Amino acid sequence: MKSLLLILSKSRYFAPAFVFTSLNIWFGTWAIYIPSVKEKLDINKADLGIALFCLSLGVFTIFPFASKIVNKLGVGKATWYGVVCNSFAALLPLLAPNYYALMGSLFVFGLCNGITDIAMNTLVTEIEKEDKQNFMSAAHGFFSLGGILVGLSSFLIPMIGNPPLHMAIVVALVLVVNLVLRKNYIHILAAPVEKEPFSFKLFKPLLLLGIIGFVSMGSEGAIIDWSGLYLKEVALAPEFLIGAGFLAFSTTMTLGRFLGDGISARIGSVKIVALGAGIAIFGYALVLTQLTLLAIVGFALCGLGFSVMVPELFRIGGNVKGVDSSQGVAFIAGTGYSGFLLGPVILGFLAESFSLIYSFVLLLGSALLVFGITFFLGRKQK
């Protein structure tokens, strides 16, 4: 909780943390309107999966150039430009008049998401180095906080009745807050780093961690994108509860990230990952009951379980013997983010070919896989 208090007490830390919040507000507001866009454009789940892949493609297209762009502009300016670009790009998918325009707009949205994600994480890293204060985990908690705000705003859907208008209001509010806060970080430049040679042998111990990262962040992306549709089509939830699964998931995700460091200090990184996997398994079991209230509770438990995994993976990956910490963290980030973006796409094809229920059965199986991997990780640490 120390890092949370640090963020709340000083604008130097609150400003970049709010960029994390902003990214999830843009993305989450788009996500709660996915069922509406699907109906408006009259597309099936497989087509929707392809459209979501375009968002992923946008992110991965910018990845090879992101570090050069951030260094060229300066990490502070790159973060602010990312905020501005996302503010406009977030509107495009909800304004798309046809399926092809949706794919193009999601590709642009992905580009903006990718550069902002890398810039804001680099920004927090540089501030941590300068001030010798750790608040990365809490900053990711603020990302989850953005999901809570989106979930709360979902109750306004019947009142507003206009997805582009809803997004425009969100964009305007978020942009104004970031405009006020940008002075706290826009001047910051990344310190030069001596490059390390790549060796695949050194990364072998990270492969198991990479699988966990792919599964945990893939599950997070799947719940963000598909929880609303699951509640609507499978659990037959009333309209005002369609966003409740995402809200419950984001709330417990935020709580877990703010409290996870203290629990980890008591039981260790591997055990907390195993505990998180166990909670997620129980959560998916409740989701698969197909009962609205139990499914919402299940999404909440999944959020609590997965909340502690990614921060701990970064911690373990940064301390693998013989691997430079920055290389370990970069590997975890790459595999995890791949899962976050590709997971929903894979589930989309599975849902269209069979049903959305089978998609969540696969997620349950993935959580069981993570639980099993923790036993191997535990042996390696002994």
Whether residues 54 and 137 share a domain: the answer is yes
Residue 67: partners with Cβ closer than 8 Å, 6 or more residues away:
118
Average pLDDT over residues 240-247: 85
- Yes or no: say if 239 and 119 are a contact pair by the CB < 8 Å rule: no
Q: What is the pLDDT of residues 244-286, one digit of tens each?
A: 888 899 889 888 888 776 777 778 778 888 999 999 999 999 9
Alpha-carbon gap, residue 189 to 266, rounded angstroms: 36
Whether residues 206 and 129 share a domain: the answer is no
Whether residues 49 and 152 share a domain: the answer is yes
Tell me which residue range forms the domain holding 351: 199-382
Which letter, b or e, does each residue of 297-323 get, where b requires 16 or more Cβ atoms within 10 Å of its Cβ?
bbbbbbbbbbbbbbbbbbbbbbebeeb
Average pLDDT over residues 289-295: 93
Whether residues 183 and 217 share a domain: the answer is no
Average pLDDT over residues 325-341: 67
pLDDT, greater one: 220 or 89: 89
Tell which of 137, 161, 190 closes a domain: 190
Alpha-carbon gap, residue 310 to 328, rounded angstroms: 13
Alpha-carbon gap, residue 94 to 303, rounded angstroms: 27
Q: How confident is the model at residue 179 (pLDDT cuts 50, 70, 90)?
A: very high
Whether residues 44 and 17 share a domain: the answer is yes
From residue 270, alpha-carbon distances to 138, 209, 281, 338, 376 in Å are: 20, 10, 17, 22, 10
User: What sign for the dihedral angle of Cα 250, 251, 253, 257?
Assistant: positive
- Yes or no: say if 22 and 146 are a contact pair by the CB < 8 Å rule: yes
* One-letter identity of residue 6: L
Whether residues 184 and 206 share a domain: the answer is no
Whether residues 164 and 123 share a domain: the answer is yes
From residue 199, alpha-carbon distances to 1, 162, 360 in Å are: 37, 52, 37
Q: What single DSSP character describes residue 184?
A: G
Residue 256: partners with Cβ closer than 8 Å, 6 or more residues away:
276, 303, 304, 305, 306, 307, 308
Average pLDDT over residues 297-324: 77
Residue 372: partners with Cβ closer than 8 Å, 6 or more residues away:
none
Whether residues 264 and 376 share a domain: the answer is yes
Q: Please tell me the predicted confidence (pLDDT) of residue 201.
A: 58
Whether residues 10 and 83 share a domain: the answer is yes
Whether residues 213 and 152 share a domain: the answer is no
Tell which of 156, 190, 224 closes a domain: 190
Per the structure block, which two tokens stand in for 60?
């991965």
What CATH number has the domain bearing residue 112?
1.20.1250.20
Whether residues 182 and 263 share a domain: the answer is no
Q: Please tell me the predicted confidence (pLDDT) of residue 380.
A: 58
**Domains: count for the chain:** 2
Average pLDDT over residues 310-315: 72
Tell which of 190, 210, 225 closes a domain: 190
